Structure 1
Amino acid sequence: MPRERLPDDGDELLARLGSLTAQARRRAQVQRSQVELALALQRGMLPRDLPTAPGLHLAVRYTPANLGLNVGGDWYDAFTLPDGRIGLSIGDVQGHNIEAAAAMGQVRAGLRALASVTGDPGELLARTNDLLLSLGSELFATCTFLRLDPATGSLESARAGHIPSVWATADGKSGVVHDEGGPPLGIERGVEYPVTRHRLSTGGVVVLLTDGVVEGPELTVEDGLDQVVRLAGIAAVAGLEARALAAAVIKGAEGVGHEDDAAVLVVGLDGPGTPL
């Protein structure tokens, strides 16, 4: 009597493995498409050109996080205000996904639009905060906004929950900008943001950055800021170009072990002024 043929367990296992592999490939393709979309959003919303003025030196570096779906909402911006002064902003929207990248564009566009009404850094952040709350988004953003007069070196800044900036002068002084600041944008209504006033010296620099540059598993934010202070001090004394300093700072960000965006905006000035 012929024996009944049992199912081929090997063939069944291979078929299941093939199905699982196909599913994993499809998920990877979807994930890759989402990452590419978020990165395209980031690139499209960041400025292509930086403003120019006699004696003004601006340089930026931006490294997006693209591990898995870990695409953040860091941004930088620089533009000419209606009165001829220069507006400078840097910030970070909470979250690491397409929504964060899209919200970054909203905040940056809102800052630019409201800057045509008021260039005062504190009032501008307060209005942007109200705008973000009115949109009903659950995301919040940290931000620093500076207003610079290249003709005099006058520099005004306000900060909304963002990490402080770094400064250095050509005579060898450097440090972290100490200002009061306020809460992140999009959390609380009716917030006032104090304005801190400085004067950018001839040959001096100010470095604006996001936390991905100075904070991560391998480095505390304090140590990361100290590292940028040292780089800025060396660059100012040596008279290095703003773009060389920006490149050095973003290179240092590779050592923090982060999976976040990293953005750097360096501001330098040749002209009248006394140290920060």
Structure 2
Amino acid sequence: MFRKRSPHDGDELLARLGSLTAQARRQAERQRSRVELAVALQRGMLPGEMPAVPGFHLAVRYAPAHSGLDVGGDWYDAFTLPDGRIGLCVGDVQGHTIDAAAFMGQVRVALRAMAALTSDPGDLLARTNDLLLTLGGDLFATCTVMRLDPATGLVESARAGHVPCVWATADGRSGVSEDEGGPPLGVQEGMEFPVTRHRLTTGGVFILLTDGVVEGPALTVDEGLDQVVRLAGIAAVAGMAADSLAAAVIRNAERVGHEDDAAVLVVAHDDRAGALRG
């Protein structure tokens, strides 16, 4: 025999549902605030303008990803070194949290601070790695650092567990930089980071990027890099402006099933008529 429902049962159920709804709304608001804070933290730590480099154009694009309600820690940077050469870097912090965004800021500041002591890319990464380890924590970052000499076009680069760069020339050649690289930053002290040298002459381009541009559910990192290589080759031959090339490369993130942050930094020589020699 069924028990006759009290008229208060419905009121109790509605009250419980209202309480659960309010609780879910508060949790969603807190999480949204966390995301907004992390995004603001990211953007606040990225440089506002690229330095003016005679004979070269620098262009950047950055697309923060929202995987669920989390954000990542990709960054880019470019600055004038004490000796007049130009420091360039892109990087990616492990994880998608506010801590990752904060650690990204620490790495970027550490690189700039160490650049006042040494501008050699390998030594710069080694010193930054050791400094980060003294701060403690369990996060790590991958990074590529370059030193550009505008007077000669000499480009020196070192990698810390990061995806390689892409290059292209006005005479139709293009490819992925074949440098040895070292481990990510913040993993083990006393690491060395080999330096690779190139010469960027008139007409050449270099593309620094993070793995969110070239790796995702739709493509492997090698397939994604191949797409950027083809795009860079076409752009160099056609004399595409650095800003347009950066915009075209960041769109590649959509084709790979973009779930991570994506950062692109393009270094292009003016008056495209020369080549990039290794």
The two structures have a TM-score, normalised by structure 2, of 0.95
Q: Partner amino acid for 2:155?
A: L
**Partner residue of 1:93?**
93
Q: Distance in 2 between matches of 1:260 and 1:42?
A: 14
Report the alpha carbon displacement of residue 16 of structure 1 after superposing the two structures with TM: 1.6
The superposition leaves residues 89-120 of structure 1 with CA deviations (integer Å, 9 ceiling, x where unpaired) of 00001110000000000000000011011000
**Partner residue of 1:260?**
260
Q: Partner amino acid for 1:39?
A: V
Q: Distance in 2 between matches of 1:200 and 1:89?
A: 17
The superposition leaves residues 135-171 of structure 1 with CA deviations (integer Å, 9 ceiling, x where unpaired) of 0021000000000011111000000000000000000
> In structure 2, do the counterparts of structure 1 residues 154 and 273 end up closer, same or farther at CA, with 3 Å as the change threshold?
farther
In structure 2, the residue corresponding to 1:8 is in which secondary structure? helix
**Partner residue of 2:102?**
102
Q: Partner amino acid for 1:70?
A: D
Structure 2: gaps (5+ residues): none
**Partner residue of 1:132?**
132
Give the root-mean-square deviation of aligned CA atoms. Answer: 1.6
Report the alpha carbon displacement of residue 5 of structure 1 after superposing the two structures with TM: 7.4
Name the count of aligned residue pairs: 274
Q: Distance in 2 between matches of 1:275 and 1:50?
A: 22
Q: Distance in 2 between matches of 1:108 and 1:263?
A: 14
Report the alpha carbon displacement of residue 274 of structure 1 after superposing the two structures with TM: 4.9
The two structures have a TM-score, normalised by structure 1, of 0.96
Q: Which moved more, 1:7-16 or 1:46-55?
A: 7-16
**Partner residue of 1:275?**
276
CA contact (8 A) 2:162 2:184 kept: yes
**Partner residue of 2:60?**
60
CA contact (8 A) 1:72 1:100 kept: yes
Report the alpha carbon displacement of residue 9 of structure 1 after superposing the two structures with TM: 3.0
> In structure 2, do the counterparts of structure 1 residues 43 and 5 end up closer, same or farther at CA, with 3 Å as the change threshold?
closer
Report the alpha carbon displacement of residue 247 of structure 1 after superposing the two structures with TM: 0.3
Q: How does 1:14-33 map to 2 (within 5 A)?
A: 14-33=14-33
**Partner residue of 1:46?**
46
**Partner residue of 1:78?**
78
**Runs of 4+ with deviation above 4 angstroms:** 271-274
Report the alpha carbon displacement of residue 68 of structure 1 after superposing the two structures with TM: 3.3
Q: Partner amino acid for 2:144?
A: T
Identity %: 75
> In structure 2, do the counterparts of structure 1 residues 9 and 176 end up closer, same or farther at CA, with 3 Å as the change threshold?
same
> In structure 2, do the counterparts of structure 1 residues 183 and 117 end up closer, same or farther at CA, with 3 Å as the change threshold?
same
CA contact (8 A) 2:60 2:243 kept: yes
**Partner residue of 2:248?**
248
Q: Distance in 2 between matches of 1:224 and 1:34?
A: 31
In structure 2, the residue corresponding to 1:41 is in which secondary structure? helix
In structure 2, the residue corresponding to 1:125 is in which secondary structure? helix
Q: Distance in 1 between matches of 2:126 and 2:246?
A: 29
Q: Distance in 2 between matches of 1:79 and 1:71?
A: 25
Q: Distance in 2 between matches of 1:204 and 1:275?
A: 5
Q: Distance in 2 between matches of 1:249 and 1:9?
A: 60
CA contact (8 A) 1:93 1:103 kept: yes
CA contact (8 A) 2:169 2:275 kept: no
Q: Distance in 1 between matches of 2:212 and 2:112?
A: 24
Q: Distance in 2 between matches of 1:243 and 1:5?
A: 69
**Partner residue of 1:197?**
197
Structure 1: gaps (5+ residues): none
Q: Partner amino acid for 1:57?
A: H
The superposition leaves residues 190-220 of structure 1 with CA deviations (integer Å, 9 ceiling, x where unpaired) of 1110000000121110000001011011111
Q: Partner amino acid for 2:208?
A: L
In structure 2, the residue corresponding to 1:108 is in which secondary structure? helix
